[in-house]
Amino acid sequence: MPTDDNNDIGAMSFEAALAELETIVRRLEDGETSLDDAIGAYERGALLKRHCQKKLDEAKTRVDKITIQSDGSVSTEPADLS
């Protein structure tokens, strides 16, 4: 897997990565691409899927850290994502 693709995807927002992943899925479902293009699209799709899952996991961790205090105020703890 090319490093350029990883860096490109790593900088993407969740929404942008998901939109590209949906486009790839539609292209693959149409079946009008060459085998080589389909394999390349599948590989990029796998990277995009992993990126989206990572973003979702990070968001879940952040939400899980939010607590409501007895006085009704909301406090957050910094998420340890490492």
Task: For residues 1 and 34, give the distance between their C-alpha atoms in angstroms, rounded to a whole number.
Answer: 19
Report pLDDT for 1: 39
Burial class (CB in 10 A: 0-12, 13-18, 19+), 20: middle
Q: Structural domains in the chain?
A: 3-76 (1.10.287.1040)
pTM above 0.85, yes or no: no
Of 74 and 2, more confident: 74
Report pLDDT for 52: 98
> What are the pLDDT digits (tens) for 47-59?
999 999 999 999 9
Of 60 and 47, more confident: 47
Report pLDDT for 81: 52
